[in-house]
Amino acid sequence: MTTQRLNFMDSGFRANPYPSYAGLRRDQPVVQVDPGGFWAVSRYDDVVHVLRHPQRFTSHGFQVAWQPAWLGYSPMAHSMLALDGGAHQRLRTLAARAFNGTAVRRLEPRIRQLAAQMAEGLAVQGEAEAISAFAMPLPTTVIGGLMGLDASLHGRFKDWADAMASITPEPLSEAHAARVRATVEEMTRYLTEVIDARRREPAEDLVTDLVRAEVQGQSLTDREIIDFLVLMMVAGLETAVHLLGNALLFLAENPDELARLRAEPLLIPRFIEELLRYESPVQCVLRFTTAETKLAGVTIPRDAVVMAVIGAANRDERRYSEPERFDLQREQPSLAFGQGAHHCIGAMLARMEAHRGLEALLARFQGFTRLSSEVPWNLSFAVRGPACLPLRFMPAR
Ligand code: HEM
């Protein structure tokens, strides 16, 4: 008997992957799924094992998955996320400078100010599509500002990031393929112009730092700088936007939790940690096997793409008691930001954006209600969040 493979791109699956994850953890902890026939690993300990053994499970998996034949050059497939060893370390050292504690703390007053301004804008409108009016512009303005990119183009960044996150082994349609190809061209053209401009006239921003940077005595090529900037845009937006979007959806559906956070704003960081576990913005990361490997009793062949399903591991009953329950008292950290050599370098910034964003909304509004019962989820097997969320905002008295 042949059973149909689970497809992570199915709309039903994306709307609620958790029952399928529970089934995978119970019956098929390591199994091939679609798209791509990738090997999904769903139990917490197995996901940690994959992330902690980069010699056996290399990050080349991203290169294989993000450089499908239908797409020309794919910047994401050549970014540090897809590199291993020394080549990865060389770029990560550079990126770490831009996102260390001192650099991120310097951004905090600006993030608070932006969040308060945007909350005020929502109060004036009363009703708004919350992703495009809040969840998206807050991190976009922060990352665009860090990079020193033209503010008039911030609206385009999210489209670019969405297109990169939607890359699949087979295009979803001809229109999808054409859109992604055109996006890569547009991004490359624009970023090349920015790099040229910074070479002529340096500024106080990340692009200038990259143009000037020397790692182990070598400067970066334009190609490397572009791949780096595209990764920042995708890694910094597709994730942070979904964290805020998931938070808004959760709070609109759980007014008691919202009231509790308003009464005790010191709980906001705890709320964010539990939400990262419960609705992980990054649902899976990819790896590539360098040898035949046995995991949870299943043999994965050599040269196979492995999906470490963070979203499933974060609800593993072997790790968390009552994992399907949202619980602010939980102490165990989650895998939301990954683990090991590729652990998210933007984690501190993401937490701060979410903290200050929610703080501003909860101070300004006593609640928000949904204007539509449908949630269109974004188009990606790797990251997850609402694509559109119309809300009515009730000002605080
Ligand atoms: C890596 C999650 C926000 C930049 C990662 C990884 C995860 C992750 C799971 C590990 C990938 C792997 O192991 O292959 C998240 C989540 C975020 C978030 C859930 C928000 C809620 C950000 C932000 C930035 C950022 C705001 C920066 C602007 C990066 C970069 C990497 C990364 C550059 C690659 C690191 C490397 O390859 O060494 N992130 N991220 N992330 N993240 Fe984040």
CB 212 within 8 A of CB 202: yes
d(CA 63, CA 40): 17
| pLDDT for position 159 | 85
For residues 115 and 239, give the distance between their C-alpha atoms in angstroms, rounded to a whole number: 17
Residue nearest to atom 36 of ligand 1 (CA): 342
Domain assignment present for 2: no
| CATH number for position 265 | 1.10.630.10
Residue 312 located in a structural domain: yes
Number of domains in the chain: 1
Closest residue to atom 39 of ligand 1, CA basis: 344
Residue 5 domain flag: no
Q: Report residue 90's pLDDT band, with 50, 70 and 90 as the boundaries.
A: confident
* Averaged pLDDT of the chain: 93
Cβ partners under 8 Å of residue 235, min gap 6: 81, 344, 346
Ligand 1 nearest atom to the CA of residue 354, by list position: 21
The minimum-distance atom of ligand 1 relative to the CA of 81 is 37
In DSSP terms, 33 is beta-bridged to 38
Q: Average pLDDT of 333-359?
A: 97
Tokens 């799924």, residue located: 33
Q: What is the DSSP letter of 180?
A: H
Give the pLDDT mean for 22-49: 97
- If one residue of 288, 344, 351 were mutated to test the ligand 1 pocket, choosing by the most ligand atoms within 8 A of its CB, it would be 344
Nearest ligand 1 atom to alpha carbon 139: 26
Q: How confident is the model at residue 325 (pLDDT cuts 50, 70, 90)?
A: very high
For residue 327, tell me if it sits in a domain.
yes
Structure tokens at 326: 């949202």
Task: With respect to residue 6, please indicate whether it lies within any of the assigned structural domains.
Answer: no
Look at residue 361 and tell me whether its pLDDT is greater than 60. Answer: yes
Residue 301, in any domain of the structure: yes
- Complex ipTM value: 0.97
Which atom of ligand 1 has the smallest separation from the CA of 237?
26
**Residue 163 CA to chain centroid, in angstroms?**
13
Residue 257 has, within 13 A of its CA and on its CB side, a CA count of 20
Contact 220, 213 (CB under 8 A): yes
For 183-229, the pLDDT digits (tens) are: 999 999 999 999 999 999 999 888 998 998 887 788 889 999 999 99
Distance CA 88, CA 102 (A): 23
Question: Residue 236: inside a domain, yes or no?
Answer: yes
Q: Domain for residue 42, yes or no? A: yes
* Structure confidence at residue 99 (pLDDT): 86
Residue 137 sits in which domain range? 11-395
**Which residue's CA is the closest to the ligand 1 atom numbered 6?**
344
HEC-encoded secondary structure of 209-224: HHHHCEECCEECCHHH
Q: How confident is the model at residue 2 (pLDDT cuts 50, 70, 90)?
A: low
